[in-house]
Chains A and B, each alone.
Chain A
């Protein structure tokens, strides 16, 4: 059982480049999330999805886009990379059967914008 898988693990981008961070989960969870973690700061929610075809903005969505065409996949796209987007990005998933269930996290993508 792989859980939440993120690719790539590391990436260096130049300012203005674009890229897609991949996230897939095999737990049939309906909820999926993207967070960023900056040094000394708590995790911030970028975007989330409550099911295929449904996405919504989190706390820090500017500069990012998402899509959710399947239950399993929730890619995050950076269109014009900026140095402020240097961070560690985590994807998470969870289910909700009445109560919210714990979120399961991937191992992260470490992204540097130079």
Chain B
């Protein structure tokens, strides 16, 4: 059974710093991995999706990497801003099913 872990559960950093969020998964046979952000009281917004054949994806100040062999993904945020404060979730899709397995998220606070 796939399990997805995100550590730490919460993280506070000063504005302007670069930071890395971690996601680990137990079964390396994944189809893709997706990073989301969730603002309080809102739904999830897709940030980046990495197919299993890819090693990384970039969008603006965000860069996500995928290492299937070690069961890890990282989300790198450059030059953090207060508007980046949110909960970040990762989710993996296995082969042959529609199920996304989600982590419990990292709640990020950027301190002005």
B100 within 8 Å of A (CB atoms): yes
Report whether A108 and B43 are in contact in the complex, using a CB–CB cutoff of 8 Å.
Answer: yes
Q: Which residues 34-49 of B have a CB within 8 angstroms of A?
A: 34, 36, 41-46, 49
Chain B at the A interface: mostly helix, strand, loop or mixed? strand
Q: Which residues 73-101 of B have a CB within 8 angstroms of A?
A: 89, 91, 93, 98-101
B103 within 8 Å of A (CB atoms): yes
Report whether B89 and A42 are in contact in the complex, using a CB–CB cutoff of 8 Å.
Answer: yes
Contacts of B41 in A (CB 8 A): 107-108
> Bound complex: CA of A72 vs CA of B45, how far in Å?
20
Report whether B4 and A42 are in contact in the complex, using a CB–CB cutoff of 8 Å.
Answer: yes
A41, A50, A100 pick with most chain B CB within 10 angstroms? A100
Report whether A100 and B44 are in contact in the complex, using a CB–CB cutoff of 8 Å.
Answer: no
Decide yes or no: A43 and B102 within 8 Å by CB, A100-B32, A100-B93, A102-B34 being known contacts: yes
Report whether B49 and A90 are in contact in the complex, using a CB–CB cutoff of 8 Å.
Answer: no
Contacts of B45 in A (CB 8 A): 105
Contacts of A74 in B (CB 8 A): none
Report whether A103 and B98 are in contact in the complex, using a CB–CB cutoff of 8 Å.
Answer: no
Report whether A107 and B42 are in contact in the complex, using a CB–CB cutoff of 8 Å.
Answer: yes
How many residues of chain B have a CB within 8 Å of chain A? 24
B4, B34, B42, B43 pick with most chain A CB within 10 angstroms? B43
A75 within 8 Å of B (CB atoms): no
Decide yes or no: A58 and B98 within 8 Å by CB, A102-B34, A102-B46, A104-B46 being known contacts: yes
Closest CB-CB distance, B112 to chain A, in whole Å? 26
> Bound complex: CA of A40 vs CA of B49, how far in Å?
23
Contacts of A40 in B (CB 8 A): 104
Among A4, A59, A99, A104, the residue within 8 A (CB) of B51 is: A99
> Bound complex: CA of A105 vs CA of B34, how far in Å?
13
Q: Specify the chain B residue showing the minimal Cβ separation from A106.
A: B43
Q: Specify the chain A residue showing the minimal Cβ separation from B6.
A: A42
Closest CB-CB distance, A33 to chain B, in whole Å? 7
A42, A50, A104 pick with most chain B CB within 10 angstroms? A42
Q: Which residues 91-114 of A have a CB within 8 angstroms of B?
A: 92, 99-108
